[in-house]
Amino acid sequence: MSVKDWADYGIRGAVAVGRPAVAAPYRRQIDKLVSRALASIEQLADLTMGRFYSAVSFGADSLVADNLMRRAYPDRPAMWVNQGPLAEWPDCLALKDQMVAGGLPLVELTPDVTLYDWYRQHGIPTASAMDGRDDQALNEALMYAPIRRYQASAQMRGYVWGLRHKGEGRHRQILLNSRGMVYTRKGDGQAVCSPVAHWTKQEIWAYIDLHAIPYPAMYDIDRNEIRNGPPIGTSALNMGRIVKMKQRFPNLWRVMILEFPELQRYT
């Protein structure tokens, strides 16, 4: 029996579009940030001799990073790891389909195991903290292994991603402040470009609005708080994540409880 996804439950995603008039007062501020971001992407292009891509999740930060890259390098591929049934937001899937139909050169990777199947095999993780042994094993199977295969097979030497540190966790601040917007990883030699490293969440949204960029409609519930980590992901489980899911996305919550009834006790 195949695993059901959101569409099988009648849930369809929606796409919204940035509103230029809302962000017009921020144009000069955003233009300064864009100049620095484009310079970092040029630096990456030189380091990799043009062998680079953008890593996208179809969340707000990665959408802006990818859009910045396409200003100068419209033909560079975007890479996305599809984490499987119920692990991607319906609105992100709708945006992905729209962007591909519009010409986005997307490379969709398949992980060694879907998040859904991992939970079925290993159980729902309930630790509040991330980066434990189980979490590392999951990330290796779900993300890192397929990305390494893609980098090797496509002979990629680097990538653009949407990692930011302003208003984010301390580990991001340390990483980006110590290594800068462009750096080369010691382990595998991949060059990494973080063109929006020093942007705030408000500046990300100002850019999206100014340029009328399509984005997942779920962000309109709360642009500051909504994240696009896997809907069925359980990191921060004991810190209210499941309660917020039930409150904000009751249609998705009902599907989660059907598939994983053990989550009910966390509400």
Q: What is the mean pLDDT of residues 166-186?
A: 74
218 occurs within a structural domain: yes
Q: What is the mean pLDDT of residues 207-234?
A: 93
1 occurs within a structural domain: no
Range of the domain at 193: 14-262
At 137 the pLDDT is: 86
253 occurs within a structural domain: yes
85 occurs within a structural domain: yes
- Under 8 Å between Cβ of 199 and 67: no
230: nearest Cα among 110, 68, 114, 108: 114
Residue 15 sits at φ, ψ, to 5 deg, of: -120, 135
CATH number of the domain that 244 lies in? 3.40.50.620
At 34 the pLDDT is: 97
At 108 the pLDDT is: 98
Report the number of distinct structural domains present in the chain. Answer: 1
Write down the pTM of the prediction. Answer: 0.92
